[in-house]
Structure 1
Amino acid sequence: NILKEVRDKSVFSNELRSKIKDWASLYHLSPDRSNILRCFGFKNRNIKILELGAGCGAITRYLGENFTSVYAVEGDVNRGRIIRLRCSELDNVVKVFVTNIFDLEPEETFDMVLLIGVLEYSNLYATGNNLNPPLKLLEFAYNFLKDNGLLVLAIENKLGIKYLSGAREDHTGKLFEGIQGYPRRNTPTTLSKKELSELLEKAGFADIEFYLPFPDYKLPSVILNNKYSSLFAEYNIYNWIETPFPDRVSNSRTLLFNESLFLRELVRANLLDELANSFLVLAYKGDKDSVCHNLELDRDWVVKKYSTNRLPNFIKEVTLIPEGPPKIMNKRLFPDTPPYNGDLKINLKDTPYVIGELLTYKFFEQAFNDNFMDFVIKTMEQLKNLALSLFYAGSSDQEGYPLLRGKSIDLTFFNIIVDTEGNWHPIDLEWEIRFDIPIDYLIFRNLYALFARYRAYLNLNINFNELITKVMRELFFNYNLQRINKSLELEKIFENLVLHPAYSSLEEVYKIKDNIEKLNYHSASIIIVTYNSSSTIEGCLNSIIQNTSKIPYEIIIIDNNSRDNTVAICREVLSRSSVPYKVIE
């Protein structure tokens, strides 16, 4: 029904992305599906491609937009109809066949064959008395290739990090099923790297290259080239990988350990390729150099990262190039669109690669300590000072908060590299908003990101509202509810300018706002110093309580060692009221 409602069915269709509501629609409609092919930058469009197990056509659509001859095979009739509908205006390019893959006869050969999320099901739809369906399917794909042809294969790793840390198996929905060798039979079955390599070699493929998509091959935003695995530790490649990894079966998941810290140890031990969540494989039939020359493949990169959950103007690809001194190359995928939307502009440029570790990892490490909140406050204070030193606009707002130039909006803990000497290096400051922003909004953005992304890892016995209150009042003595509301409004403006509506988190932001407004924030603190004031203090307090109502406030009693019952009277009077108070003796 969705495909019948929209006019634009392209990979980056805004209409389709507006229909994303849940995991199923995200899986079938997200442009991230095609990143596993986009990363290779195929320049030869005039090749013939066979896609085996095309599903609902997310990859097929990408192929039809970028190549001249695509054959899509799908075993389910309804899915075959969906593919035809998704590619309806590409009839001259895409041909759809509905049949069991094993019933095909290789009458034609192809430059490239795709098995994307298919091999794991081979034991369920194999025909005859086939004792090794995965091998049979790979041999089948091999026979469909030209003498110098390429198989592109993607599959989950049964030993993937996310399965070790408590995510359910993607196909069966069971905990730890793959890592225990699939003890239940007649289920989809994924493979380890060793098992997959051996099957590909037995099927006849001469050369095999592994790539590691994260969080998985289904919706990859980061893809590592395992050819450069010897550089992973030197480049701290774990910085690129976002966790916690999603559980594709359930909205909630068990999380047994910090996956980012585990990733770091895997990289240092050169084991990442064994325990990656998914594999993306290029398997060559014939001469690899001839295949790469014919298809015009781009494989000379260490990692590629895609940011697509934003308006087309801002969608980008980031590439780490190893040649000479390593460097970062940035490019917009739609360079013909303006690099701005209203008051927001994106600034992309190529830069040297900064060696070090994301500041994020300091939070992960400190979360194991009892004084974690002290670390958060200290780090946010340091971030505040850095922002002022780099971006101070030379003025303050009406409440005295220093203003920062609009380029500061991207100065976040996940955009700061810490080198071995502890120095901070801001990176990837891509955003520039065309007005000055108050310093407290920048700190608010950092705290919100810290809590929203990593709350599962943090040693916090408080909610987000309390986190904001505690940290902000340490950094800004007069911080109040109005400042929080102002930060929320600024975040609303920012998200509306950058994000595609399908990915907006504003609903979550405003849930926070609703909760914040229920808290007792104090615009003023009334401090009373007492000494043997039992005869007057009760009347004083009652007068304050009865006549001070227009602003949120608190009362702080500082007693100078009274010898009468002044303190007891204060506690009794204040405990009967709704006014927040402290008594310091």
Structure 2
Amino acid sequence: MEAIGNVVLNLNYYGGVDLYSEGAGEDLLLKLVSEHAEAEYPAVIQNTRSWSVMYHLSNERENICSFLPIKKTDKVLEIGAGCGAVTGCLARLAGHVTCIELSKKRSTINAVRHKMLDNIDIIVGNFEDVEQDIEEKYDYITLIGVLEYAASYIKSRDPYHDILNRVSRHLSENGRLIIAIENQLGLKYFAGCREDHTGGFYDGIEGYRDKEGVRTFSKHGLKKLLEDSGYKSRFYYPYPDYKLPHTIYSDDRLPGMGELNTNIRNFDADRILTFDETKVFDTLIGNGQFSEFANSFLVLAQKEGAGTEEKLPIYAKFSSERAINLRTATVISRNINGSGMEVYKRALSPQANDHIDSIYVNYLALLKEYENTGARPNVCTRSGSASGMASVDGGNVGETETVYFEYLTGLTLEEYLDDLEAKGEYERMLLLLKQYEKFISSVCRDDFKNSEGFTELFGEAVEGEYKSGKVSNLDLIFTNIVFDRFKKENGVWNILDYEWTRPFPIPDRFIIYRALFYYIEGHKNSAFLKYLKRRGLDLYAEFGISIPEKEIFRRLEEHFQLSIIGGAASLTVMHELMPTVCADAVEAAGKEFRYKNLRNPMIYYGTGLGFTSDKQISLFADVKGHDVSMRIPVEKDVCELRVDPTEYPCLIRIKKLKTVTGMGLEKPLERFLTNGYIGGEDLILFDTHDPQLHFMKLPGETEELILEYEVLNLEDEMFSSMKELFVRNTESMKKDPTLVDRVLVKAGRREAEVIPDGLRYNKSI
């Protein structure tokens, strides 16, 4: 046994060597958790810019289980606890957590970071060995990022069924198995992400044909695996995936159109971007196929015949990329029979309790502010029956506040706009937005005045004539306004999520600006915006927001967002900081498509009378990348060749040009004609779709022409600038024949050069 703070490591099953290790990466993690408190992890993540550090220390990892109905009376067995990314969350939810982890180094990291918690013990060893001696029954057993590796630590012909069967022996009567795993058919893999475990492109969707030791499952495959092992299951869909989720969906609350718009999350490796995942997700959602292609699964499984809790969460959204005093989670739960829908928002840290309390205060203030306006803030109370949620940064469930809301059904203003757009009713959309403007006017009736609170929140005072309310709800964006599906805008305007209500005036046009800005951001390239562009309309200008005002409001919003993030390791910011690349496949393919037909350039031969289409030589060139090489046979009476290397503008670098005699002797061919511009003896720029290289007056004994060149494609701007340089260089090469030249020609010592129109030599004599 070894104690680290309050955490005890059981080494009875440890073989003395860590069979799996990240080496120096784990040494760094141990150093970091030893030297830094949990509140300092966001700064550590940003400073190291390491995926390993981010993966193990990000508070976003806890989102996968912090919303689950685990109670203080529950006992949890965490199999494959790793470095403790979710151990702290489980410990703050449950009465006791037992971890099993193969690696001592990882177990030590886990113990060090959670040494202040007194309800964790860690068994170091292989689950297959430890499991035989487990006598305890657990209310929850977790396989978070573990099931896919079963073949590596379970020695059997069917390790995936075997691990599930072994686990079931240690579940309490109504206990639950928690599985988090990537979807083998996750959309991100089709869109160009590497398979998370193998690091290769398309390995999972190609069936892991040459891969061993790891595999994931489709929804159908995982559900069948569980059924065959005696489990009933409930599926959730963490988004973007289970590792760093910000939203958890379920079959009872699936994503809506346009919701899945944070897909570029390749923190760990370069990726390809083969299509717009948001648009494809929308297509899948519209066809009822989202659950089959969700990137990850979170599964709650119970043994057949086990009882089910009366209430379970069906949706969770985490606002955890914020300063610690502003971190919250919004959860929707309902009874198993479909009744009793409940919505609540809970602090994710004790430091965020004041923020949660302020939401109820905001509700009371808006009730008074919205009297006689046709608007109504969604009913908020401080009492309810939500199951506990874990708080981060050391607090327990009892230390975090919760507020509860009425569950509303209906149509958001954004959904209404989307419906009108789908029908092509763009003028009605404009009229609806004008009605929104009238609504803002109805709740902003006073003259705006700057205040200390405004300047502190937004970074600067605002000059100009604006209206405002005494209390201002900044977040009146289109997704936070709900209509009755039948009465729509003619009924009550129900206001959701008034989290960012402040007790001081905020300009009405800034509130409108934010609503328009976030709508436009989420609807880039939409039919409605294209319609406005065709009509020459600017949406901001339609609502009286000038270009200078847009810049002012942009600064206000930027300062506001930075104040929300505080020192948090925002995933959006971290993606920019991480040294990974997202390569657009369509753009890359477009460039490659321009290199078409390199294998079969057009080749013409001549006998001194010029080139005609009936005198062609067919051969396949040897192509490696953009390098082309060929050996062109030269018949006895042929004295000239013409090669058209491409059928599009390009840059050609001549790498080798030689004639070959019957004796096999190679001789460089120094000069040739071309319709391109010369950038040097070996560089030629073509601005035509008919590039030509003319090899004239071949030596009589020539039997082959060896030609090697590289084809380079230039972007439009670079092409234009390089063409100017090449044209100037080509012009500088022109010169009139000297007296010596004319004398040599007249004496028959040199032939007069006759250059066809549009051609020029690659070099002077």
Which of 392, 410, 424 pairs up with 1:356? 410
The question of 1:219 aligning with 2:231 is answered: no
Q: Distance in 2 between matches of 1:366 and 1:52?
A: 50
Residues 222 and 240 of structure 1 are in contact (CA less than 8 Å); yes or no, is this contact kept in structure 2?
Answer: no
1:35 aligned onto 2:72: no
Residue 93 of structure 1 is matched in structure 2 by: 119
The residue number in structure 2 matching 1:17 is 42
Q: In the aligned structure 1, how far is the partner of 2:428 from the partner of 2:43?
A: 40
Q: Deviations over 1:546-577 (max 9, x none)?
A: xxxxxxxxxxxxxxxxxxxxxxxxxxxxxxxx
Q: Structure 1 residue 473 and structure 2 residue 541: aligned?
A: yes
Equivalent in 283, 307, 312 of residue 262 of structure 1 = 283
- The structure-2 alpha-carbon separation of the partners of 1:392 and 1:183, relative to structure 1 and needing over 3 Å to count, comes to farther
The 3 A distance-change label for structure 1 pair 93 and 354 is closer
The corresponding residue for 1:581 is none
Q: In the superposition, relative to structure 1, how do residues 210 and 472 fare at CA in structure 2: closer, same or farther (>3 Å)?
A: closer
Taking the aligned partners of 1:366 and 1:182, their CA distance within structure 2 comes to 45
Change (3 A) 1:147 1:127: same
1:65 correspondence with 2:77 = no
Question: How far does residue 256 in structure 1 lie from its aligned partner after superposition?
Answer: 3.8
What pairs up with 1:111-510 in 2 under 5 angstroms?
111=138, 112-123=140-151, 125-126=152-153, 128=155, 130-146=156-172, 149-165=175-191, 167-186=193-212, 188-205=214-231, 207-226=232-251, 229=252, 232=253, 238=256, 241-248=259-266, 249-250=269-270, 253-256=273-276, 258-259=279-280, 261-262=282-283, 264-266=285-287, 269=288, 271-285=289-303, 288-289=306-307, 299-322=311-334, 326-334=341-349, 339-340=354-355, 347=362, 349=380, 350-361=404-415, 381-395=434-448, 398-417=463-482, 420-421=485-486, 422-423=488-489, 425-450=494-519, 455=524, 470-476=538-544, 479-481=546-548, 483-503=549-569
Q: What amino acid does structure 1 have at the position aligned with 2:96?
A: S
**Secondary structure at 2:205 match in 1:** helix
Aligned partners of 1:168 and 1:247 also within 8 Å: no
- Per-residue deviation, 1:410: 0.5
How many pairs does the alignment contain?
A: 477
CA distance in structure 2 between the aligned counterparts of 1:431 and 1:32, rounded to whole angstroms: 22
Change (3 A) 1:398 1:460: closer
Question: In structure 2, how many angstroms separate the alpha carbons of the residues matched to 1:490 and 1:471?
Answer: 19
Matched residue SS, 2:286 = helix
Partner amino acid for 2:410? G
CA contact (8 A) 1:117 1:154 kept: yes
Task: Report the Cα distance in structure 2 between the residues aligned to 1:166 and 1:369, rounded to whole angstroms.
Answer: 33
Counterpart residue identity of residue 145, structure 2:
G
How far did 1:388 drift? Answer: 1.7
Distance in 2, matches of 1:113 and 1:507, equals 34
- Pairwise CA distance, 1:390: 2.6
Report if aligned partners of 2:67, 2:331 keep a CA contact under 8 Å in 1.
no
CA distance in 2, matches of 1:238, 1:357: 12
Residues 100, 127 of structure 2: 8 Å contact kept = yes
Whose helix proportion is higher, 1 or 2? Answer: 1
Unmatched 5+ residue regions in structure 1? 462-468, 509-585
130-139 or 245-254, larger mean C-alpha shift: 245-254
3-state SS of paired residue (2:479): helix
| Alpha-carbon distance between aligned partners in 1 of 2:571 and 2:185, rounded to the nearest angstrom | 32
What residue number does 1:574 align with? Answer: none
Please say if residues 258 and 282 of structure 2, whose CA atoms lie closer than 8 Å, have aligned partners that are also in contact.
Answer: no
Aligned residue type for 2:85: A
Q: 1:194 to 1:472 in 2, by over 3 A?
A: closer
Which one is further off, 209-218 or 237-246? Answer: 237-246
The 1:115/1:5 distance shift into structure 2, 3 A limit, reads closer
Preserved contact between residue 148 and residue 216 of structure 2 (Cα < 8 Å):
yes
Pair 1:451–1:159, CA change in 2 (3 A): same
Post-superposition Cα deviations, 1:312-352, rounded to whole Å, max 9, x if no partner, equal 443333233446574533333457755349x9998472443
The verdict on how the C-alpha distance between 1:3 and 1:97 changes in structure 2, with shifts beyond 3 A counting, is same
> Per-residue CA shift, 1:493-515, capped at 9, x if unaligned?
4234433422569989xxxxxxx
2:578 corresponding residue in structure 1:
none
Deviation, 1:443, is: 3.3
Cα pair 2:472 2:506 within 8 Å, conserved: no
Deviation at 1:223, TM superposition (A): 2.7
Counterpart CA distance in 2 for 1:138 and 1:281 is 13
The one-letter code sitting in structure 1 at the alignment partner of 2:275 is L
Give the Cα separation in 2 of the matches to 1:143 and 1:353.
Answer: 39
User: How far apart are the structure 2 equivalents of 1:507 and 1:301?
Assistant: 30
8 Å contact kept, 1:54–1:60: yes
Read off the aligned partner of 1:439 and give its amino acid letter.
Answer: D
Q: Distance in 2 between matches of 1:53 and 1:218?
A: 15
Does the 8 A contact of 1:50 with 1:113 survive in 2?
A: yes
Alpha-carbon distance, 1:411 to partner:
0.6
Residue 368 to residue 272, structure 1, CA distance change in 2 (3 Å): closer
**What is the identity, as a one-letter code, of the residue corresponding to 2:408?**
V
Specify the code of the residue in structure 2 equivalent to 1:31. N
Aligned amino acid, residue 222 of structure 1: T
In 2, Cα distance between the equivalents of 1:364 and 1:278?
28
Normalised by the length of structure 1, the TM-score is: 0.68
- Note the C-alpha offset of 1:117: 0.9
What is the percentage of aligned positions where both structures have the same residue? 28
Q: What is the aligned counterpart of 1:44 among 49, 57, 72?
A: 72
Shift of 1:57: 0.7
Q: 1:272 to 1:368 in 2, by over 3 A?
A: closer
Contact 1:172 1:187 in 2 (8 A): no
Helix, strand or coil at the partner of 1:189: coil
